[in-house]
Amino acid sequence: MADVFQFLSSASLEKLTGRKAETLDELLNLINTCPDSSIFYHTFSAYMKMREIRLPYNNDFSYWISNGLNEKALAEKIMATDLSEYNTLRSLRLRLIDIIEDYRNQKSEAFQKRADDPFHLFDIIRVVYLTDKFAYDLKSFREAISTISIYSIYFHFIECQLEKDLQTNDFSTWIESSLNLPDLAQMIKRIDLNAYTLEGLRTRILQLIDGYLEEISKGLTSAGLDY
Partner 1 sequence: MKAPTLFDYKEVVGPDIIEELTILASHLANRSIKMVNSTAVGGGVAEMLHCIVPLLNELGIQVTWDVIQGDQTFFDITKRFHNALQGQEDYFKEDVFNTYLAYNEKNNDEIDFGEDLIVIHDPQPLALINWNQRRKNKWVWRCHVDMSHPNPQVWRFLKPFVEKYDAAIFSSPLFSPELNIAQYRFYPAIDPLSDKNRDLDAVYIDRVLMQYGIPRDRPIVTQISRYDPWKDPVGVIQAFKMARKYVDCRLLLVGDKAADDPESEKILEKVRAEAGDDPDIHILLFSPSIATEINAFQRASDIVIQKSLREGFALTVSEALWKRRPLIGGAVGGIPAQIIHGHTGLLVHSVEGASLGIRWLINQPDFAKQLAENGHQRVKDEFLITKSLKRYLLLLLTLDKQKEQTIFLSY
Q: Which of 123, 103, 82, 131 is nearest to 23 (CA)?
A: 103
Burial (0-12, 13-18, 19+ Cβ within 10 Å), 27: buried
Minimal distance in Å, beta carbon 216 to partner 1? 29
Contact 184, 198 (CB under 8 A): no
Minimal distance in Å, beta carbon 20 to partner 1? 7
Q: Which of 18, 67, 61, 70 is nearest to 42 (CA)?
A: 61
Length of the chain: 227
Task: State which residue, 156 or 189, has the beta carbon closest to partner 1.
Answer: 156
Task: State which residue, 67 or 222, has the beta carbon closest to partner 1.
Answer: 67
| Amino acid in position 186 | Q
Task: State which residue, 4 or 128, has the beta carbon closest to partner 1.
Answer: 128
Minimal distance in Å, beta carbon 35 to partner 1? 7
Where along the sequence are the contacts to partner 1 (CB under 8 A)? 9, 11-18, 20, 35-37, 40, 50, 52-55, 117, 120, 122, 124-132, 147-152
Task: State which residue, 99 or 124, has the beta carbon closest to partner 1.
Answer: 124
Whether the CA torsion 191, 195, 201, 204 is positive or negative: it is negative
Minimal distance in Å, beta carbon 56 to partner 1? 10
Task: State which residue, 38 or 169, has the beta carbon closest to partner 1.
Answer: 38
CB contact set of 206 (below 8 Å; sequence gap of 6+)? 142, 145, 146
Minimal distance in Å, beta carbon 224 to partner 1? 29
